[in-house]
């Protein structure tokens, strides 16, 4: 059994690897601080050669340049290797050797009520802030809002904790008592106390592995625009089912199905409703994007499709999203 560490020992391991991330806007030529509901300016080193894990919303501005601050006197330019807004994860890289880093744990083994430690740099100013608590809930689903981009993100499978997670230290690690990262602190609920959320670290492991191997995150792609059907949408639009992905364009002038994509080549059409993928039912709790994320590029899948009150089956091979 792995030795249980004290909070002091965990702080000694984690703090040197937790960094502050700041952005420099090319448009406004001003330093930007991330001070929004799910915003943050923290991240953590996961390798001695400079790979960093943080939240995608921390580096959401694609026009900005970013830097990592390890100490007040140690600042490094950051290369954003990948952004995964679906899971609110980003992988960054700085050039360095023998950098301090923290090991990744296994978030599938988290137990309700176990002790955890959150580390971060709230508001990018209060370095090495450590707070302790427990895992208060598992597999939570929330809609987190990034006020700086005026966007909401649906985050699933989250770890709920009462360890203090403040605006500004999201992107930092949630650590178990063996000193390993089990989550990425990502969101706080405005107006609530002792209610923070972290992305399971296993979500980031796949991203990190792909970035290290390919230099980017690869995602399965079929090439459609869609909305997820629920009872309200079905009733409002006189649809015959209360679940599935309705293929429909978001705005005039765009394609609902990209002609050159596997969806276009396989014969999918606007107003088709994809009900299932390989027998996996599409619902509000199980988006089409969730299902595709569990698939591999090049894998052949079978779709159960409702077209004009008739069920048809369509097979296609998943492509890489460019």
**Which SS3 state, helix, strand or coil, does residue 230 take?**
coil
User: 104 has which bridge partners?
Assistant: 181
- Provide CB contacts within 8 A for 265, sequence distance 6+: 316
DSSP string of 133-146, one letter each residue: EEEEEEEEEEEEEE
Active site residue 147: no
Active site residue 207: no
Active site residue 170: yes
Query: What is the number of residues in the chain?
Result: 322
DSSP string of 241-309, one letter each residue: -SSSEEE--SSTTS-SB-TTSHHHHHT--TT-EEEEETTEE-BTTB-HHHHHHTS-TT-EEEEEEEETT
Dihedral sign for Cα 48, 184, 18, 41, please: positive
Q: Where is 9: in which H helix or E strand?
A: helix 7-14
Catalytic one of 61, 84, 88, 207:
88
Q: Where are the beta strands (DSSP E) in 33-114?
A: 42-45, 51-54, 64-71, 74-84, 89-93
CA-to-CA distance for 223 and 255, rounded, in angstroms?
Answer: 10
> Residue written as tokens 């059907």?
229
Q: Which residues are catalytic?
A: 57, 88, 170
């Amino acid at each position: 059994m792995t030795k249980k560490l004290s909070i002091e020992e965990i702080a000694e391991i984690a703090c040197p690897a937790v960094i502050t991330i700041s952005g420099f806007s090319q448009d406004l030529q001003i330093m930007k601080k991330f001070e929004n509901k799910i915003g943050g300016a923290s991240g953590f080193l996961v390798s001695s050669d400079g790979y960093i894990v943080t939240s995608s919303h921390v580096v959401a501005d694609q026009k900005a340049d970013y830097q990592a601050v390890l100490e007040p006197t140690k600042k490094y330019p950051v290369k954003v290797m990948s952004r995964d807004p679906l899971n609110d994860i980003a992988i960054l890289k700085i050039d360095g050797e023998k950098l301090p880093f923290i090991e990744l744990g296994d978030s599938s083994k988290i137990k309700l009520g176990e002790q955890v430690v959150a580390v971060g740099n709230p508001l990018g100013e209060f370095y090495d802030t450590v707070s302790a608590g427990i895992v208060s809930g598992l597999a939570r689903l929330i809609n987190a809002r990034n006020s700086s981009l005026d966007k909401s993100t649906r985050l699933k499978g989250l770890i709920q904790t009462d360890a203090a997670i403040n605006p500004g230290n999201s992107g930092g690690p949630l650590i178990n008592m063996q000193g390993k990262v089990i989550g990425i602190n990502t969101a706080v609920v405005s107006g609530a106390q002792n209610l923070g959320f972290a992305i399971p670290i296993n979500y980031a492991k796949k991203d990190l592995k792909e970035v290290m191997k390919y230099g980017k995150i690869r995602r399965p792609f079929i090439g459609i625009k869609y909305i997820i059907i629920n009872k309200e949408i079905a009733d409002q639009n006189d649809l015959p089912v209360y679940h599935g992905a309705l293929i429909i364009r978001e705005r005039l002038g765009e394609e609902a199905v990209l002609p050159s994509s596997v969806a276009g080549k396989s014969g999918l059409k606007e107003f088709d409703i994809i009900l299932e993928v390989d027998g996996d039912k599409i619902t509000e709790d199980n988006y089409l994007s969730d299902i595709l994320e569990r698939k591999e590029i090049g894998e052949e899948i079978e779709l159960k499709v409702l077209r004009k009150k008739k069920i048809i089956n369509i097979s296609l091979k998943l492509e890489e999203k460019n």
